[in-house]
């Protein structure tokens, strides 16, 4: 599969696959497709990886007891794929997405148990030994989870794609999928048409705005706080080593010493404003876990828009329009699910049977419910 020139009324370059949206899902899919030999164009409304992907904490939280049961197989597979995904990306891009594998310390409720192999309950003594600055006590598990820095992940993916010949059009929102002879033939922006044999909607929280409609995502706001050591605190690396999750807050360390505190889950439309009371509440909740975090300085605050769907499951597969696919709606798990999404979508786009049953995630499930 290679880019070629076709004659319509004039010479038009055409791609095997046009991807709408350059977040972690669109970028990961483009990487996989390019490695399989496809020519790929990403059309992005602003800059790649600056929306939900940029906002994310980056937990690869495959043991979280709140993960939807319907997603168990995809989540487990994606978590297994992560080390290799990151290793290959590092080799190709010479950039590191800061994969951290110390694990997650999870404070869980009486009736909750983590849903993965290798999770084990830990005692207060063990907690004090492995994370001495954590003073909170409770029912605690050590989970074999990892985390990445999604900003670095996005930048590494973009770099490797540009080096491997994937084309980008940035600053151009796609308005609609072009239809020719009853099938998708490319995409239209306000100024241009880009021809493709297949189109994949990876537009995250905005996916529902692209015509023909039928990929019903909605924005679910999440506010985040990043703290750093105050002046005079000369300590290399992060103050804590593990991701820590409590019902009130999660705490995600980065190797450069930053610590992220999250998050809210808000139905607030496309509003990305940050609320000072929420920032204060998250900082205080983290200080209750580890008082030293309360001494840290707020370095950055932001909000991002998770792509939710009507049943909060991803939307993966062909739409009612032949040649038009969706890969979006990853809600709280898009960083975690990127490798397996790229795998199954690339299999579908090559006409192969995907390794996993995508029935619960097909876009057509919403058309069936509404009767049209």
What is d(CA 58, CA 148) in angstroms, rounded to the nearest whole number?
A: 5
**In terms of Cα–Cα distance, which of 309, 19, 57, 361 is closest to 168?**
19
Euclidean distance between the first and the last CA atom of the chain, given in angstroms as a whole number? 35
Query: Among the candidate windows 128-136, 191-199, 204-212, 347-355, which touches ligand FAD by CB under 6 A?
Result: 204-212
What is d(CA 363, CA 330) in angstroms, rounded to the nearest whole number?
A: 13
> In this chain, which of 19, 29, 41, 55 binds ligand FAD, going by CB under 6 A?
55
The reply to whether 340 sits near ligand FAD by the rule CB under 6 A is no
The reply to whether 332 sits near ligand FAD by the rule CB under 6 A is yes
The reply to whether 57 sits near ligand FAD by the rule CB under 6 A is yes
Whether residue 318 contacts residue 351, with contact meaning beta carbons closer than 8 Å, is answered with no
Task: State residue 109 phi and psi, 5-degree precision.
Answer: -70, 165
Whether residue 30 contacts residue 209, with contact meaning beta carbons closer than 8 Å, is answered with no
Helix, coil or strand: residue 110: coil
The reply to whether 93 sits near ligand FAD by the rule CB under 6 A is no
What is d(CA 75, CA 35) in angstroms, rounded to the nearest whole number?
A: 23
> In this chain, which of 29, 30, 40, 56 binds ligand FAD, going by CB under 6 A?
56
Cis preceding linkage at 212, omega within 30 = yes
Which residue, 50 or 350, has its beta carbon nearer to ligand FAD? 50
Report in angstroms how near the CB of residue 51 gets to ligand FAD at its nearest: 3
Cα-based distances in Å from 329 to 241, 246, 307: 31, 25, 5
Segment 209 to 228, residues that bind ligand FAD, using CB under 6 A: 210, 222, 224
Report in angstroms how near the CB of residue 190 gets to ligand FAD at its nearest: 11
Report in angstroms how near the CB of residue 284 gets to ligand FAD at its nearest: 18
Query: Among the candidate windows 82-90, 134-142, 178-186, 334-342, which touches ligand FAD by CB under 6 A?
Result: 334-342
- Helix axis angle, 24-35 relative to 150-163, nearest 10°? 30
> In this chain, which of 107, 333, 340, 348 binds ligand FAD, going by CB under 6 A?
333
Q: Which residues pair with 146 in a beta bridge?
A: 60
Report in angstroms how near the CB of residue 263 gets to ligand FAD at its nearest: 4
> In this chain, which of 14, 17, 18, 22 binds ligand FAD, going by CB under 6 A?
22
Which residue, 287 or 336, has its beta carbon nearer to ligand FAD? 336
Segment 290 to 329, residues that bind ligand FAD, using CB under 6 A: 304, 306-307, 328
The reply to whether 282 sits near ligand FAD by the rule CB under 6 A is no
The reply to whether 21 sits near ligand FAD by the rule CB under 6 A is yes
**In terms of Cα–Cα distance, which of 202, 241, 280, 7 is closest to 104?**
241
What is d(CA 206, CA 303) in angstroms, rounded to the nearest whole number?
A: 16
Please report, as ranges, the residues that interact with ligand FAD according to CB under 6 A. Answer: 20-26, 43-46, 50-53, 55-59, 173-174, 202-206, 210, 222, 224, 262-263, 304, 306-307, 328, 330-336
């Amino acid at each position: 599969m290679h880019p070629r020139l076709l004659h319509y009324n004039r010479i038009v370059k055409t791609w095997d696959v046009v991807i709408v949206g350059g977040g972690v899902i669109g970028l990961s899919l483009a990487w996989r497709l390019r490695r399989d030999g496809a020519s790929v164009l990403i059309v992005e409304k602003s800059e790649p990886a600056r929306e939900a992907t940029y906002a994310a904490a980056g937990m690869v939280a495959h043991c979280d007891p709140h993960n939807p049961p319907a997603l168990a197989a995809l989540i487990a597979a994606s978590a297994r794929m992560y080390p290799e995904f990151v290793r290959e990306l590092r080799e190709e891009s010479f950039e590191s997405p800061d994969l951290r594998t110390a694990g997650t310390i999870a404070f869980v409720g009486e009736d909750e148990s983590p849903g993965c192999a290798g999770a084990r309950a830990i005692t207060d003594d063990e907690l004090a030994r492995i994370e001495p600055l954590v003073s909170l006590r409770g029912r605690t598990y050590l989970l074999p989870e990892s985390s990445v820095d999604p900003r670095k992940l996005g930048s590494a993916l973009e770099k490797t794609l540009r080096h491997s010949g994937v084309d980008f059009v940035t600053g151009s929102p796609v308005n609609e999928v072009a239809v020719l002879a009853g099938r998708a033939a490319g995409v239209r922006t306000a100024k241009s048409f880009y021809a493709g044999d297949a189109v994949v909607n990876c537009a995250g929280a905005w996916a529902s705005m692209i015509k023909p409609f039928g990929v019903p995502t909605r924005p679910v706001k999440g506010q985040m706080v990043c703290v750093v050591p105050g002046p005079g605190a000369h300590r290399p690396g992060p103050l804590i080593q593990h991701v820590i999750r409590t019902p009130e807050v999660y705490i995600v360390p980065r190797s450069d010493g930053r610590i992220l505190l999250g998050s809210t889950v808000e139905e607030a439309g496309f509003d990305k404003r940050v609320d000072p009371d929420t920032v204060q509440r998250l900082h205080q909740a983290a200080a209750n876990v580890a008082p030293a975090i309360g001494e840290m300085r707020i370095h950055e605050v932001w909000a991002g828009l998770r792509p939710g769907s009507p049943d909060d499951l991803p939307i993966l597969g062909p739409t009612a329009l032949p040649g038009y696919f969706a890969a979006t709606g990853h809600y709280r798990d898009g960083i975690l699910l990127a490798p397996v999404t790229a795998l199954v979508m690339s299999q579908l786009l090559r006409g192969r049977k995907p390794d996993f049953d995508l029935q619960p995630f097909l876009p057509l499930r919403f058309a069936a419910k509404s009767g049209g």
